[in-house]
Chains A and B, each alone.
Chain A
Amino acid sequence: MNFELTNEQQMLQDSVARFIQDNYDLESRAKSAASKSGFSQDHWQTMADLGWLGLGFDEADGGFGGGHVDIMLLMEQFGKGLVLEPLLASVILGGGALKRGACAELKTEILPGLIDGSRQLALAYAEEQAHFDLHDVITTARSKDDGFIINGHKSMVLHAGTADQIVVSARTSGGQIDENGISLFLIDADAEGVKRENFPTVDGLQACEVTLKDVIVGSNRLLGELDDGFAILNNVATDAILALSAEAVGAMEILYKDTVEYTQQREQFGHPLADFQVMQHRMVEMFMEYEQCKSLLYRATMEAAQGSATTQRTVHALKHLVGKSGIFIAENAVQLHGGMGMTEELRIGHYLKRMIVIDAQFGNADYHLQKFAA
């Protein structure tokens, strides 16, 4: 049992923290969010140059062979800055599907660009009727000649607007909600028949509605075995939940610390707000929830790193707690800031928005509680 970071991990944490510190004030973030791509191309390149985009890939694939712990450290710091760059969408989602499913040739074609920042991926898994179920898929892929023809509609595809390629889940056999019969394909984002409608999300990121009409894809672009895409998708979702939870834990830390600081400065009734017992107890509760989330994050991350059989269940627990506690902490941070907490000018509200979106991604607190209890 050891919670100490290795020297490399410590260096990674420090360098990400420094990057956030130096680059991610609210104003610069707003500027990047308002740009066409919705994030800073310069930051993206820096992240690639510092090796962060390759952390999750084996050395054989051109990556840096980092593990779950490294990604956790990275994402926790990203959460503190409310980072906009599409690391989750491109590397953890798109790249996660590729590293698990692509043949050697396809990896050689795609991964180097993904890791050096010149190529961006996205993952189109959600459909309107599916709520949070990854296996509820109507989009179809029919085999034709030496490939497939894809038709359907994918929703809320994170950062698809700037992606070069999109990994798409489609039904190749079985019924609408069967886990079997789902296959993953890598399509070009500007292929004929692909329509992307880009829009902002409430937390300042971007997503697309993606319509696929008779999109032709070669069979060499099938990821994993035919009909067997769900297992890959599920593992990618596990990684995504771990990454999002780390981000949420970073955001929680900012929220409770900002609140502790603000209430010590703001005076009403001749006392700092932090003198009032009601305030103190509430902040203690926020702090407790944060620590509990961090503990469960460590537990889930280390189980995943070891490939433990209980990982899936612990990840359900984690996403439940992070969703519930994250919103509790964020809502109370706003409340304890009073009117100031409601302004766009203070960062508190921006963390609340992010927390709400994190809860809604890959299944909310309720959804994972049910999965855990099942």
Chain B
Amino acid sequence: MDIELGSEDLAFREDVRGFFAENAYKAGEDYNVWRLEWFKKAAQMGGWDVPKWSKEFGGPGWTPTQHYIWEQETATATLPWDMPFGIGMVAPIIMAYGNEEQQKRFLPDIRARKVNWCQGYSEPGAGSDLAALKTKAVLSEDGTHYTVNGTKIWTTMAQIADWIFCLTRTDDSGIKQEGITFLLFPMKQKGIEVKPIITLGGAHSVNMVYFTDVSVPVENRIGEEGKGWTYAKGLLQHERTGLAGISRSIVALEKLKEQASSVKRGNGSLMDEPSFRAKVAELEIDLMASEYTELRSLASASAGSAPGPESSILKLKGTEIQQRIAKLTVEAGGIYSAAWGRGVGHKFAKAGMGGYLASRAFTIYGGASEVQKDVIAKNVLGLKRSTT
């Protein structure tokens, strides 16, 4: 055990910093042109556009320490926007369970950020109990295509997505985890209707998605029919570790300190108030520990073993920390946090409330906290429940 960065790692960090500085967005530039160009250049660095992809599929094949350095540096640099659904969620499934033809067909466009994806898992009756999903896919008699009917809910960014990866039911005769099939299909086609759901604060990011006789060629099925649950579970693990956002929280906490220092209290600032300081300190301590929990998890993942028990707590801890930071930001804004859509008083207060409201979903999506704890109790601690 050793926490010193070696000379190679230090050199890598310099390279990363250099790359971010050199390719930073310059005022006046066409954002979209810059964005795509950025990913191209990152690709030329040897897979920096897809840090988490394996070497086999064009990823950089970094060591855990390099991943850690990348995470740290990206938290402070301004990277082009990116959605997790393609690069981080469906791509790993296609790599692991898709056939070669599907890999050739889908991965290059995902990598080039040409296609926006959305995740069609949850349904009105299937949230935490995802395996209860009912969206039906029926294979045609000639075996060439599925006909999909059903309703998805909470589909993030369905309104702009080109493609959806979707869990469908092809068999309901056995236990519910069996008979689920993983399909990919375009969103802009006959039979698909997207209706917005407005969340707290007026944002439109999630949707209801209705399928009426949507036709999906059988070539768009990932793996075997009826095995979709196994594939999706692997993906959920990816999604969850990605949601902890520890490095981002470290940066967010530093920002909160600055903001609180700008709020005058008597002769000092809010940061001088013992009770506020203590809450910030508690967060800092939790983050110090979480940073190393993440590192341990990274190390065991790269050693080829299954994610260790420590990885299971990252989503829970990480999202809770994000919520606490969001809430303290609102607290720091005082009464000015209440002004809606308009900066009044402290400059940061305007964004604070929206951030806080959005943060309440962090412990709901990607596995609600209560259910995550059930999973840890069962899978990690090996506990049984005598009653429901």
Residues of A within 8 A of B (CB): 126, 128-129, 131-132, 155-156, 177, 199-203, 207, 209, 267-271, 275-279, 327, 331, 334-335, 338-339, 341-345, 349, 352-353, 356-357, 360-361, 364, 366, 369-370
Whether A199 lies near B199 (C-beta < 8 A) is: no
Q: How far is the CA of A279 from the CA of B342 in the complex (A)?
A: 37
Q: Which residues on the B side are within 8 Å of A207 (C-beta)?
A: 338-339
Q: Which residues on the B side are within 8 Å of A349 (C-beta)?
A: 199-200, 357
Whether B337 lies near A331 (C-beta < 8 A) is: no
B341 at the interface (CB under 8 A from A): yes
Q: A366 touches which one: B276, B364, B387 (CB < 8 A)?
A: B276
By Cβ-Cβ distance, the 6 closest A-B pairs, closest first, are A268-B129, A349-B200, A202-B340, A201-B338, A344-B198, A357-B338
Whether B388 lies near A276 (C-beta < 8 A) is: yes
Known: A344-B198, A352-B200, A356-B356. A199 touches B342 (CB 8 A): yes
Q: Which residues on the B side are within 8 Å of A277 (C-beta)?
A: 387-388
* Between-chain CB contacts (< 8 Å), 10 pairs: A131-B270, A156-B335, A202-B337, A267-B125, A268-B129, A335-B364, A335-B369, A357-B338, A360-B337, A370-B273
Q: Which B314-347 residues sit within 8 Å CB-CB of chain A?
A: 327, 330-331, 333-342, 344-346
Known: A201-B338, A342-B200, A345-B198. A331 touches B360 (CB 8 A): yes
Q: How far is the CA of A199 from the CA of B364 in the complex (A)?
A: 31
Q: Which residues on the B side are within 8 Å of A341 (C-beta)?
A: 360, 364
Residues of B within 8 A of A (CB): 122, 125, 127-129, 132, 153-154, 197-202, 206, 263-266, 270, 273, 275-276, 327, 330-331, 333-342, 344-346, 353, 356-357, 360-361, 363-365, 368-370, 373-374, 387-388
Q: Which residues on the B side are within 8 Å of A267 (C-beta)?
A: 125
Chain A proximity of B64: nearest CB distance (Å): 33
Extra A-B contacts (4), CB below 8 Å, given A202-B337, A279-B370, A356-B353? A156-B344, A267-B125, A341-B360, A349-B200
Q: How far is the CA of A281 from the CA of B346 in the complex (A)?
A: 39
Q: How far is the CA of A177 from the CA of B132 in the complex (A)?
A: 62
Q: How far is the CA of A276 from the CA of B129 in the complex (A)?
A: 13
Whether B128 lies near A342 (C-beta < 8 A) is: no
Q: Which residues on the B side are within 8 Å of A202 (C-beta)?
A: 201, 337-340, 353, 357
Chain B proximity of A283: nearest CB distance (Å): 12
Chain A proximity of B174: nearest CB distance (Å): 15
Known: A201-B338, A202-B353, A203-B338. A370 touches B344 (CB 8 A): no
Q: How far is the CA of A132 from the CA of B276 in the complex (A)?
A: 14
Chain A proximity of B298: nearest CB distance (Å): 29
Q: Which residues on the B side are within 8 Å of A345 (C-beta)?
A: 197-198
Q: How far is the CA of A216 from the CA of B338 in the complex (A)?
A: 31
Known: A201-B338, A356-B330, A360-B337. A343 touches B200 (CB 8 A): yes
Of all chain A residues, which has the CB nearest B265? Answer: A131
Chain A proximity of B231: nearest CB distance (Å): 21
Q: B341 touches which one: A200, A338, A339, A357 (CB < 8 A)?
A: A200
Of all chain B residues, which has the CB nearest A340? Answer: B127
Q: Which residues on the A side are within 8 Å of B357 (C-beta)?
A: 202, 349, 352-353
Q: How far is the CA of A147 from the CA of B357 in the complex (A)?
A: 47
Q: Which residues on the A side are within 8 Å of B333 (C-beta)?
A: 360
Q: Which residues on the A side are within 8 Å of B356 (C-beta)?
A: 356
Whether B128 lies near A338 (C-beta < 8 A) is: yes
Q: How far is the CA of A356 from the CA of B353 in the complex (A)?
A: 9
Whether A334 lies near B360 (C-beta < 8 A) is: yes
Q: Which residues on the A side are within 8 Å of B370 (C-beta)?
A: 276, 278-279, 335
Whether B344 lies near A209 (C-beta < 8 A) is: yes
Q: Which residues on the B side are within 8 Å of A278 (C-beta)?
A: 370, 373-374
Whether B129 lies near A199 (C-beta < 8 A) is: no
Q: A344 touches which one: B127, B202, B364 (CB < 8 A)?
A: B202
Known: A343-B200, A352-B200. A201 touches B345 (CB 8 A): no
Whether B337 lies near A356 (C-beta < 8 A) is: yes
Whether B339 lies near A156 (C-beta < 8 A) is: yes
Q: B263 touches which one: A131, A279, A339, A369 (CB < 8 A)?
A: A131
